[in-house]
Amino acid sequence: MTRALVLGGGGVTGVAWELGLLAGLAQRGVDLVGADLVVGTSAGSVVGAQVCSGVPVQELYAAQLRPAEGEVAARLGAGVLLRWAWAGGRSRDAVRSRARVGAMACAARTPSEASRRAVIEGRLPVREWPARRLLVTAVDAASGEFVVFDAASGVSLVDAVGASCAVPGVWPPVTIGDRRFVDGGVRSAVNADLAEGAEAVVVVAPVSSAFGPMPRLAAQVAALRRSARVVVVTPDAAARRAIGRNVLDPARRAGAARAGRAQAAAVADSVAAVWGPVG
């Protein structure tokens, strides 16, 4: 049976919650890290690269509990969200909408690309693409084209993950060759449709909302369910409190990780029923 793990976006707290959830599930005998395919968007691209690196998930979880050295505090405030919604919500054409968000991102005042790349490098245990199939999503800032990076794309893992995490209006677009790329979440916070063809799909989504012409997670999951068993896990009430309102606040990382680990107890059975027996 082919298994796919889909990891959605959600900032630094999303990284922490996802790793806590994965660690908690592994402790209960549900090994999602052994997926045949891993799809990562934004925060999910970080987690995807981490869990495919060979570092045990319990170690990755433990790292989330330590002080967030090297992480830069930022805020995904109402102003940024309004600019994003204004840029992307004025067109029913999804590609044009994404290009407008990309233009907004390119015009925004942000930290330098070099400083942001150093942060991304610090998050990744390895610099090489894993042997496991890992898909990392991004959006071309100029054209609005949805792009999926993998080991065959000719793009470094650090640049691919950096592009997927380039939140418009907060972090700089990532330059790769003569093109600039922004967050894969500009197309969809989850991009679950990339798991098409798998027989069992677990979607881990810190954020599942959408606006304008963005594809809805519910529609993506409905399409997957025509040929696959699918379960979606989103933060429960305790996790949402731990995450707080600012998903880019490193100070909330440890609490979000603990909340994900605790939530695993409540979802382990439903996830195991989709994932099937290990081995």
User: Residues 140, 159, 183, 249: which is the catalytic one?
Assistant: 183
The maximal CA–CA distance of the chain, rounded, in angstroms, is 50
**H helix runs in the chain, sequence order:** 11-27, 43-51, 57-64, 78-88, 94-107, 113-123, 157-164, 217-224, 237-243, 253-275
β-strand partners of 231: 202
Sequence letter at residue 195: A
Q: How does DSSP classify residue 170? A: T
CA distance 4 to 257: 22
Indicate left, alpha or beta for 278 from its phi (over 0: left) and psi (-120 to 50: alpha).
Answer: beta
Decide if 87 contacts 104 (C-beta within 8 A): yes
Q: Does 188 qualify as catalytic in the annotation?
A: no
Query: 42 an active-site residue?
Result: yes
- CB-neighbour burial class of residue 91 (10 A; exposed 0-12, middle 13-18, buried 19+): middle
Helix (H, G, I), strand (E, B) or coil at 146: strand
DSSP class of residue 103 equals H
CB environment 105-137: b (16+ within 10 A), e (fewer): beebebeebeebbebbeebbeeeebbebebbbb
- Write the DSSP symbol of residue 266: H
Q: Which residues are catalytic?
A: 42, 183
